[in-house]
Structure 1
Amino acid sequence: MPKVVDSYVLERSIGKGQFGEVFKGYNKQTNVDIAVKCVKRELLKGKFTELLENEIKVLRTCNNDNIIKLYDIKKTANNIYLIMEYCNEGDLSQYIKQKKFLLEEEAVDYLLQILNGFKTLVKNKIMHRDFKLANILKHDGNIKIADFGFSKLLNDNQGLATTMLGSPLNMAPEVLNNQEYDSKADIWSIGTCFYELLFGKSPFTATNMVELLKNIQTKQFVINRKVNNITPTAEDLLRKMLVVNPKNRISWEDLFKHEINFYQEEKLKKDLETTLKGGELMMNMSKFYIKNNMVIDHPAEIKKKEDLNNFAMQVAQKGPQNQQQQYVGPLLKKPQEENNLARQDSAKSVQSTQGPVQDIGNEEVTDKETQREKEIKAKKRNANRILHERNIYVFLASVAEEAMNNMTIQNYDVTGFLLVKKLLQLIDFLKTILQDKQNYYQLEFWEQFTQSKDYKDIHTYISKEFDVFKSYFDSIYEKISIQIQQRPKMDEAIKQAINNNFKQNNQQILVKCLQDYSKLLIETLKKTKPQDQNRQQWIHADRVLDCIRLEETFQFDDRLTNQQFNFKQYYENDNLLEMEALQKKVLQKFEKLR
């Protein structure tokens, strides 16, 4: 029998600390997952009592989408239980070990969520004092700041702290140096975490704290562009956050106003304005949609650009008629900052019960996954599997777009069109199996998954995408059907493949066109010295070759890591290679096909 505390079932132990354990559990009444921090009363003495009280005060005070939530408090004769929000994707320390480093777009997305959480902390005069990747949790693709055990609430007359707390590699130099410090120490810690996300390691390292402080004071951190070619905006922020003297370090006010907070939206805004001003609005909006939705890793990402995507889909399907040709909604849905009324209501709902509440069941909770947890993990893996297939057909769309607009190779728009026809087959197939709830990929707990919100969101999204790409296909066919009449020497089999219904199999013709196109493309590129100005053409050649060996390139194998193919990393790899290495890679792939 599992351990039960009032309405809460403690399924298994997920961590141990000096004051007790953290359990994974769920609420019997709502079936909502929870994390339960169990603190032994006998260990609460002196300073440790103050730290626990501070943690509870912070969690009761803050109501923010990017701060872990405290649902309830239960007190028994021996223990105090903090019933908290459970995060189902671990922490960023684990995540960065898997990924090695993050592309700037993803790292900035996490940073902005972190800054959103700190807006509430700063507003309420709270210092975290132990901010590190291990204390940044992920839940359904979103960030949650956690572990406020070392946090400090500052009153109006108390702006400085002196206690050395935290993790040395993320500690501000003034903390390492035993000086008084204020909340700007958290800015340094955020800067070290942002650096770790971008480059996979701490900005300053050493074998001991004395050496670490010396390195921080005497050495510059390195922006290794061979690892991650970050933008000047990201570099500027790092250089303003990781300043040794806290007086010269960026302030919270300037940090919340820094260009990094807006550059994602500005980029989208410029892309959208260019799209809406250009000719052939329907075609351009389809291109805009492809460019800004290359990879969907998690169902939660569908919601972030939902309004913008719906607008793009409508224009792409219906064309300019009956459209205002302007967009007035949010470019990105943002996590909510603190709402005072919501915070007060939330604080009232955090109960502190003592007396009749008892520990029931087995005190020795195991650390093995329960059947219920296995089902939850399987549902997540199932979502990954379907989104993997979705990302493949959008990859084909991006290659098709480049092929049809490649001005250096004449008359190969046909190859791009056949790729669009192929992707339409893939998306139609995926839409159909989702509509019919067919377990084509032999996934576990499939029936339960089809009842989930994630399944419904993915199915709705892919159905909309089919309509977008079908309109895209129709608009291209209208143009190309006229052009092929002007090419009398075109192979009849290719003409037939163009005119066939998109559901008919044209795989052999497509592969032959891709092979011919890649051969001509590479022969043209070999005549020029590989330089950064023709990098994009070499990358295009690489991806054309990957279209030929599509299944081999994008295999989904989660037996070892439970991770789907990393599409974001795939797109960035060629950008990080030296030109000679990129050329060699492409030529080796090409030789294997001959």
Structure 2
Amino acid sequence: MLQGKQIGDFKLLDELGKGSFGCVYKCQNIFDQSYHAIKIIQFASLNNSEGIVGELLKDEISVLAKIDSPNVLKLEHYFQSKSNCYILMEYCNAGDLEKYWEKKGKRLQEQKVIDIIIQVLSGLSELHKFNIIHRDIKLANILMHNDQVKIADLGFCKQLQNKDMEVTLCLGTIGTMAPEVARYDSYGLQSDIFSIGCIFYQLLFGELPFDCSDVKVYLSAIRQQKIEFYKYGVVIQNEIKEVISKMLKEDPKERLTFPQLFQYSMFTKIQNMSKVSQIAQKNVSKIETSRYYQDDGMSVLKQNEDVFKTQQNQQSQYVESLQKVNIINNTYQNQENVSKLAYELRATQSLSQNQQPIQNTLEQLKEKETVFKTDRTYNSIQIKSQINNTNSLVNTKIQQKYLYLQDALQFCNRTYSEINQIQFENESKSLIGKFMLLKRIRSESKSYLQDLANYPELQGLKGAFLAYIQDSEFYNVLNQIRGNQNLFANLRQEYNNELQEQATGVFQYSYCQALMELHTQIKQEINKQAENKKKKDLVIVLLHIQKCMHFQDLCQEKIEIEEEFFNIKKKNLIDIIKQVQF
């Protein structure tokens, strides 16, 4: 037992339980006396199961770092010693949901269950937004802080590359595990919906919906779909029966999706509506609210725009003006938010008897409109100034294109230098990724020379692009690949075709594929590093490779090289991890 031991600034108190891969303790900061939870994992355990444990731990840390939801346990810090790694998390004072449920006699009131499930779905929807699958949702893995519910123990979680991706590793707990997982079939995000359906039923009826004495019995019960809603004297509304039944479908394609779930009146509170939306909600029935605000309210409001026309001319003018400004300033990030406010305002004007909250909202919209108008005027002056300097808008765009391209190539070249400093266990595997990066720099530089003949005003950029073309490193790496008989013999055809100066028609695909493989290789190197500083340097390289993969996006804006390659080293490791796609 480690009670009383001090780790960094934290003193260990009570043992809270054992997670998937480590022991969890309550701890106290010795300086500010605040309470936290800390998971302690021995490095020796990370080699178990052919490295799977280490991969899962890495996924847990990266996922927790990215998620910011009141219904998902928050990661506060991550650090290491020579023998252990430590995950510091927020402390929940009411224990887990399983213990709470047991204290209540394993039966909770219907409305209390709905409130809990709403919060669980809210947390899960945030995970699914990032294509993160939890894989072990059960009462013991849901914590409570006062009356707030938080999804915890993401030790089995996995971030998928896209929402339709599936995995095959069988993880979870029989009783809440989706049937496709128990059968060792491939599965995706919908497996989590099945698990929530199981705990929804369990909280109401005091037991799980399907016999889970062994896997065969469990799968057979799910196949028969005999879900008992009439036992122990428990009476629930028909809508809940329908929701649970559809969440527990054997075929994941037949289960309710989040948009379908949110159409049910009991789940309308799960949507994060703005204050304007909430005003409207107070003045309509639950059915009307779900109709107006499903899919964030946008599609229905747009389709029924005439219904929400204002009765006050001043308000109508501001809404229309705001939308016009919004269209003109379509490059600004808050365009969608302003559009949403405008449509919500129309809804509220139609639905609310009390106009005072609308006046308050109008003042906010006026301020946003003023800012947008100012930005638009400033941008207009900037563009006119550029046109006057070059006497040609086309030439200005060409200049801007190659100034941005110059920045992007400098970014790629610095990333290449970072990769070159990594000591790979198998250097030959990194050669294709490095070659593709150099080929991108070289081919894009040649496109500049082709345009130079038509646009002499680009002459000032010639030195930088010419230096990339004359760099001998391209041929050095190319010769290393051709000289490595084992690598060259086993090279995939698409890579083999690219071993030349001229880019093929599928270069973009090969380029992305090679950088993805290099990305994976560096992640493996991170797992081998015990020192936080070296781990941090490698995570920064991952972030830079990730941006190089999206090269066209890299060419769309001015890049602050100092910020990207020097100031980033001053940031906390967790803050950097949040930006990386693991």
TM-score (norm 1): 0.45
Which structure has the highest helix share of the two?
2
Relative contact order (C-alpha < 8 Å, sep 6+): which is higher? 1
TM-score (norm 2): 0.45
